[in-house]
Structure 1
């Protein structure tokens, strides 16, 4: 199928029905505390703990000094009140998946799971406790399982919840980031900042999952396909427990329902299409606000992932 996915599949650990194999690899994780009832859901994605290295203390530069990003390539941006906006290019998150940062007084974890197309930003504090995150190398429903370095607990990236260890049941606070193109961010925030290359030996800007978002099925996922005939790797705009098909938002241009206003604009490339991230097919940028115009946290994720993590979620089909 895809070269990297084939390699990962060859390296992936067979389905495990017990946490014993993981406890040997993770001696400081308390596996007696967990919300996981079926351990066959946890799989190795190939790399081990920190085999995908999270970034800590990233470097930034003013937007007008950065010339190496393609106009349409996606960035995950965050504009906190009273702080200079920051953009985190997907070309870096594709290879590192987590960036631990601090914006003013706000410690944040910027996360991206390529296999679910899930890009989320979280407050790194839980009940006043500051956490920093890394990549376990494990997948659940094809979604990245993160861990915190302070308690070695495991967290589900797509929903920001602790699933194994001391932090089981804890939930991270979602922040209202925006997945937009570099050009859109630059034009909206001419005084903003953008994350610079982390400097690892990676081909930043290359998509290692060529044609993944047009594949027939997700990687390492055995669940049923989404309902209503929606393709597993079709994008949906997930806001809380509701999902709007991206194609519906794109066709309408603007949708107002359920106390949410969604709008679509042209200009953003798919990061998971062609070999170069900035040259992918058009998927556009979605923005989500409430009735008062306040930004809401949202995620433009694959339909199979929404169905897996929100089995009782509401599909906003407009019919």
Structure 2
């Protein structure tokens, strides 16, 4: 059985005892009245949510998973903590030194508010969906900063912004509750690769330093998760075409390519995209130590001019949950 963080597994088991199983019956009593004391500035009358039972607690309260607001950086050549196959999220913006955000830190913080080359960004990672994306924080003439709400929807992190206390769905980068409902964040091109791959290309690049928090950085609190039969705290449909719920897919817009197809074919060229695969990256959600995870490889997505394209490498169940009419690029 996968080993999940104590707070989340306790919440899940408690719900199982008090209610009938979550996988069979929705939380009919879920509604904003439960949350107004914790969220007095959130306008729950503005929302795109039709069924409040889709929102559930992931265990920790608001900011119980602390976002990082003032990340420190080292030169790639000076970092001695990271292991070669560990995944990092890479950001390369013109006019700024490349930056790597290690998953060993994002696993425990999920959001990093930073500024790269004058662009305010939110680096986000949801372990339960394997969704790692970077967003521009400039919205409607203001710069937002983001925190972790402690809520999940379809097993995906619900973020919030501190300026309006609106809730945002990380997987789609869209406001779902409050003043910012319906507003879409601009996703920036970024990709997940191994530490070895990053520093070989960017020896003088930057890497986020270890945060000043007491966490077991480098360890995976979700051991065995991406080999599970079912996602954690998810009661939606399985993906079609017999695709396992926790299989990785490469999402670009409303299309999803199974990662196994890209690996087996040595990359694909279609829909105006070139999607490549290279060996060398460990799964962050497999073994208890991230660097020891099984091989999943590194994906890059480029357009016809060779420019990097915004994308995500997420689990198949999450793609199906948020893009139920999305296109599966099977062959």
Q: TM-score, normalising length from structure 2?
A: 0.94
Which of residues 226, 236, 240 in structure 1 aligns to 2:249?
236
Greater mean deviation of Cα atoms: 22-31 or 279-288:
22-31
Greater mean deviation of Cα atoms: 7-16 or 293-302:
7-16
Contact 1:5/1:219 (CA < 8 Å) preserved in 2? no
What does residue range 241-260 of structure 1 map to in structure 2 within 5 Å?
241-260=254-273
The CA distance in 1 between the partners of 2:92 and 2:140, in whole Å, is 23
| Aligned Cα root-mean-square deviation (Å) | 1.1
What does residue range 135-150 of structure 1 map to in structure 2 within 5 Å?
135-150=148-163
Which of residues 167, 174, 190 in structure 1 aligns to 2:203?
190
Contact 1:267/1:284 (CA < 8 Å) preserved in 2? yes
Which of residues 196, 210, 229 in structure 1 aligns to 2:223?
210
Contact 2:7/2:60 (CA < 8 Å) preserved in 1? no
- Name the residue aligned to 2:21: none
Deviation at 1:68, TM superposition (A): 1.3
What does residue range 1-40 of structure 1 map to in structure 2 within 5 Å?
1-4=1-4, 7-12=7-12, 14=15, 15=27, 16-40=29-53
Greater mean deviation of Cα atoms: 234-243 or 2-11:
2-11
The CA distance in 2 between the partners of 1:120 and 1:153, in whole Å, is 19
Deviation at 1:128, TM superposition (A): 1.9
- Name the residue aligned to 2:86: 73
Deviation at 1:5, TM superposition (A): 5.3
- Name the residue aligned to 1:298: 311
1:97 and 2:83 matched: no
The CA distance in 2 between the partners of 1:260 and 1:6, in whole Å, is 41
Deviation at 1:7, TM superposition (A): 4.7
Contact 2:3/2:224 (CA < 8 Å) preserved in 1? no
1:172 and 2:185 matched: yes
- Name the residue aligned to 2:101: 88
- Name the residue aligned to 1:119: 132
The CA distance in 1 between the partners of 2:88 and 2:141, in whole Å, is 29
Count of residue pairs the alignment pairs up: 318
Q: TM-score, normalising length from structure 1?
A: 0.98
Contact 1:52/1:95 (CA < 8 Å) preserved in 2? yes
Contact 2:130/2:313 (CA < 8 Å) preserved in 1? yes
Deviations 1:194-233 (A, max 9, x none): 0000120001000000000000000111111000000000
Which of residues 164, 176, 198 in structure 2 aligns to 1:151?
164
1:221 and 2:234 matched: yes
Question: Which runs of 4 or more aligned residues in structure 1 lie more than 2 Å from their structure 2 counterparts after TM superposition?
Answer: 1-7, 12-17
The CA distance in 1 between the partners of 2:6 and 2:72, in whole Å, is 33
| Gapped regions of structure 2 (runs ≥ 5) | 16-26
Contact 1:111/1:120 (CA < 8 Å) preserved in 2? yes
Contact 2:94/2:117 (CA < 8 Å) preserved in 1? no
The CA distance in 2 between the partners of 1:5 and 1:42, in whole Å, is 19
Contact 1:270/1:277 (CA < 8 Å) preserved in 2? yes
The CA distance in 2 between the partners of 1:177 and 1:43, in whole Å, is 29
1:289 and 2:264 matched: no
**What is the DSSP-based 3-state SS (H/G/I as helix, E as strand, rest coil) of the residue aligned with 1:185?**
helix
